[in-house]
A and B are shown apart, each in its own frame.
Chain A
Amino acid sequence: MIAEKGVWNRLRTRLLFTGPTLFAFLTVMIVPFVYGIYLTFTNWDGIATSHTLVGFQNYGEVFRDRDFWQSFALTLKYVLFSVVLINAIAFALAYALTKGMRGQSLFRAGFFVPNLVGGIVLGFIWQFIFSKVLVYFGTKADIPLLSYSWLTDPDKAFWSLVIVTVWQYAGYMMVIFVAGLMNVPNDILEAASIDGARGWMRMRKMTLPLMVPSFIVTIFLSLQRCFMVYDVNLSLTNGGPFKSTEFVSMHVYEKAFLSRDYGVGQAEAFVLFLLVAAVTLLQVYFSKKLEVEA
């Protein structure tokens, strides 16, 4: 059908297949995105019926907003720990669950389930665990570390967020790793064994290089999701105690809707978009270079 004659005929055939998706993509992604960039040049407060153009003033404001950069630094720290832990734990789980132990499908499903729970609900569940359940056991068993809520201490609240995020995403990444591990050819591993490579050596020289494509995907996914985290942040700590765990998405939201500085908030969102896009593209570019042929 692609061979049909005439520009119109070809266009029509293509539109038939891509049209609906293209339409949805344009209306819900591209148009709001462009309109959002336009709003960064205005002083709109989010509700007024009129606004004026202010040029690059909002961007100047972004670079002067110390809180924005502080929460960005905090987010970086969170992303670093979360991404490393998510991938390490997910890989370990996947490795253990491809050994052919009894009931491994059940375990796989079990570890995957947290990913099916929405972030908001998950945050509330863990809030209850951190501020009630653990405190209850902590006071009963007289463990000082658990005898008051982790969510009221800036450092521990940060680690609570990391723990919950890892718990949420490790199962999802595990599924990707499981698929990757099943595709590592057995003959290569056997050949390596015959050559005398054992456990760790086989893992490092054979399995890991062949798993690079999976790692690219999982690191990309976890990077992007952790940078943009909002739901867990909102329902678990709500930025508290005293704004010490306010990640950058939440800061942008509060700038736009709470401080009613929509233009600056939108400009911050755009700056954030550029930074995250740069980080993830760099990650994909450099890890592509690590890929090997089996």
Chain B
Amino acid sequence: MNKIKGLQVLILSLLVVMVVTACGGNGGGKDTNASDSGNGAGNASASGKAVKITLLNSKGEIQTQLEDAAKAFHEDNPNITLEIQAVPTGGSPFERASALYASGNPPTMIMLDTGDVEKFKDRILDLSGEKWMADTVANATDLTTFDGKNYAFPLAIEGYGFIYNKAVVDKAAGGSFDPSTITTTSALENLFKQIEASGKKALVISPMDWSLGAHYLPLAYAGQSKDPAEVNKFLDSLKAGTADLANNKVFNGLMDTFDVMMRYNLDQKSPLSGAYERGPEVLGKGEVGIWFMGNWAWPQISGFDTANGQYGFLPVPISNNPDDYGNQEISAAVSKRIVIDKEKSTPEQQEAAKKFLNWIVYEAKGQDFLVNKASIIPAFKNITLPAADPLGKSIQAYMAKGKTEPSMSTLPADHWSKVGASMQKYLAQKSDRATLAKEIEDYWKSVK
């Protein structure tokens, strides 16, 4: 009996030790993180301890480029190790970030969409005092500034519209194609006809809900007026249920264009079957002349490129009057923001994260990563490198002419999913325009 008792005590104490150490390992993790990860940096400079920081990346298409940048940054700052985490495909950065916060293990830096920043403002660092604040392009931080404090780093300017493959449209136009001639719906339809006459298909509509719900349809909101205050007023009237979408000129004009697109769609027989990957393939190979997407698609298009890198953007026309707002403008805005966690990150980690942001803006290697490797249009005036890819160049050209329309970047979080589903239904011809307008109005009424 005594023997058994002794064994009992032994097992019990072992168990206790196991439990205690397991808990301790978790709780103390964040403190020890900074010190025990430094092995890689054997000759860490005297300036500080080795620090490990993480970045949650929500631009899946630049994951490898970011990893390379993290390596380059580590070479410049041997005591800082940067690890890039990825948001799972199809997931939103908000979902992932809030899940990580809920588990008490948030990354040091999070790449968020513009509209999400406000939700996190109690948990992230005020970046108003950073050096790069003075070098941002106009209005870049307006949407992430609350009570006079800016909470986010503007990473990229992104724009979208109809991407054309110059080789295909040149052939269709019989000579050199002039993009500035496409300013009306009928001119666009004419171009589609010419492309079909030349033996190719006119365009492919990628049916993802985010493309239709977050990019295409919001043109109807942004196109209401040049004055952002008027656009906001329109959104308020939608929320209040007083807007009449079915009789709205811009909405109907935009959907008229969509009807034309549907008639010339490569995937007309099964409009919902295409995935994102199909778009860059058929456009790059020249099977179609036009694809509705944004400049972020360049890395994928370049993999199939047969037009010798000659691509550009066309605006999405919303009427037959070339002077209407939106007919000559490309939708563009600062789209991805990096924020720094202040809740679980140590001061050293926060400093390291700030250093990384400065490295992107001011160091040659950082700028090279941003512009040349990741094909991002920077939101900083001091970066003078020209866009490396044709799509970025095209957006920059529209920006230089002042022909941009601010994209809707602070729509409610589930807008793309809910309205995107309604748009897919319309695309599959399972609903008509009156139903679509009603579904969109109903959605807005349900928004809190």
Binding site for B on A (CB under 8 A): 13, 16, 19-20, 23, 45-49, 131, 135, 148-149, 151-152, 154, 238, 240-243, 254, 257-261
- A16 near B12: Cβ-Cβ < 8 Å: yes
Mask of B67-102 contacts with A, CB within 8 angstroms, 1/0: 000000000000000000000001010110111011
B272 contacts partner chain A, Cβ-Cβ < 8 Å: yes
B122 contacts partner chain A, Cβ-Cβ < 8 Å: yes
- A148 near B424: Cβ-Cβ < 8 Å: no
* Max chain A C-beta neighbours (<10 A), residue from B8, B19, B97, B414: B414
| Contact A260-B119, Cβ < 8 Å, known A16-B12, A152-B273, A238-B90 | yes
B123 contacts partner chain A, Cβ-Cβ < 8 Å: yes
Can you name the residue of chain B whose Cβ is closest to the Cβ of A65? B446
Residues of B within 8 A of A238 (CB): 90
**Residue in B122, B123, B270, B430 whose CB lies within 8 Å of A242:** B430
Mask of B151-173 contacts with A, CB within 8 angstroms, 1/0: 00000000000000000000000
- A242 near B273: Cβ-Cβ < 8 Å: no
Main secondary structure of the interface of B (DSSP, over half): helix
- B414 near A148: Cβ-Cβ < 8 Å: no
- A258 near B12: Cβ-Cβ < 8 Å: no
B425 contacts partner chain A, Cβ-Cβ < 8 Å: yes
- A242 near B428: Cβ-Cβ < 8 Å: yes
Inter-chain CA distance A47–B15, complex, in Å, is: 36
- B122 near A48: Cβ-Cβ < 8 Å: yes
Residues of B within 8 A of A261 (CB): 448
**Residue in A49, A131, A149 whose CB lies within 8 Å of B123:** A49
Shortest CB-to-CB span from B422 to chain A, Å, is 7
Inter-chain CA distance A154–B424, complex, in Å, is: 12
Residues of A within 8 A of B119 (CB): 45, 47-48, 260
- Interface size classification for chain B: 35 or more
| Contact A257-B98, Cβ < 8 Å, known A48-B119, A49-B122 | yes
- List 7 tightest A-B contacts by C-beta distance, closest first: A148-B270, A152-B272, A242-B421, A242-B424, A259-B414, A149-B273, A242-B425
Inter-chain CA distance A68–B284, complex, in Å, is: 42
14 A-B contacts, Cβ less than 8 Å apart? Answer: A45-B119, A47-B98, A49-B122, A148-B270, A152-B428, A154-B430, A238-B90, A242-B421, A243-B418, A257-B99, A258-B414, A258-B417, A260-B94, A261-B448
Inter-chain CA distance A275–B205, complex, in Å, is: 41
Sample of 5 more A-B contacts, CB < 8 Å, known A49-B123, A152-B272, A259-B412: A16-B12, A154-B430, A238-B90, A259-B413, A261-B448
- A152 near B270: Cβ-Cβ < 8 Å: yes
Residues of B within 8 A of A46 (CB): 98, 102
Inter-chain CA distance A240–B98, complex, in Å, is: 24
Inter-chain CA distance A145–B424, complex, in Å, is: 21
Shortest CB-to-CB span from A44 to chain B, Å, is 11
Q: Which of B279-306 contact A (CB under 8 A)?
A: none
Shortest CB-to-CB span from B68 to chain A, Å, is 28
Residues of A within 8 A of B209 (CB): 240, 242
Inter-chain CA distance A1–B15, complex, in Å, is: 20
Residues of A within 8 A of B15 (CB): 19-20
Shortest CB-to-CB span from A187 to chain B, Å, is 46
- B273 near A243: Cβ-Cβ < 8 Å: no
Shortest CB-to-CB span from B445 to chain A, Å, is 12
Residues of B within 8 A of A20 (CB): 15
* Max chain A C-beta neighbours (<10 A), residue from B90, B94, B98, B122: B98
- B11 near A254: Cβ-Cβ < 8 Å: no
Residues of B within 8 A of A241 (CB): 272, 424-425, 428
Residues of A within 8 A of B19 (CB): 23
Mask of B118-130 contacts with A, CB within 8 angstroms, 1/0: 0110110000000
Inter-chain CA distance A23–B101, complex, in Å, is: 24
Inter-chain CA distance A241–B422, complex, in Å, is: 10
Residues of A within 8 A of B11 (CB): 16
- B272 near A240: Cβ-Cβ < 8 Å: yes
Residues of A within 8 A of B94 (CB): 47, 257, 260
Inter-chain CA distance A257–B122, complex, in Å, is: 18
Can you name the residue of chain A whose Cβ is closest to the Cβ of B120? A47
B269 contacts partner chain A, Cβ-Cβ < 8 Å: yes
Can you name the residue of chain B whose Cβ is closest to the Cβ of A13? B8
Inter-chain CA distance A152–B122, complex, in Å, is: 42
Shortest CB-to-CB span from A70 to chain B, Å, is 13
| Contact A148-B273, Cβ < 8 Å, known A242-B430, A258-B414 | yes
* Max chain A C-beta neighbours (<10 A), residue from B92, B122, B413: B413
* Max chain A C-beta neighbours (<10 A), residue from B101, B123, B273: B273
Can you name the residue of chain B whose Cβ is closest to the Cβ of A257? B95
Inter-chain CA distance A121–B175, complex, in Å, is: 49
| Contact A260-B272, Cβ < 8 Å, known A242-B422, A242-B424 | no
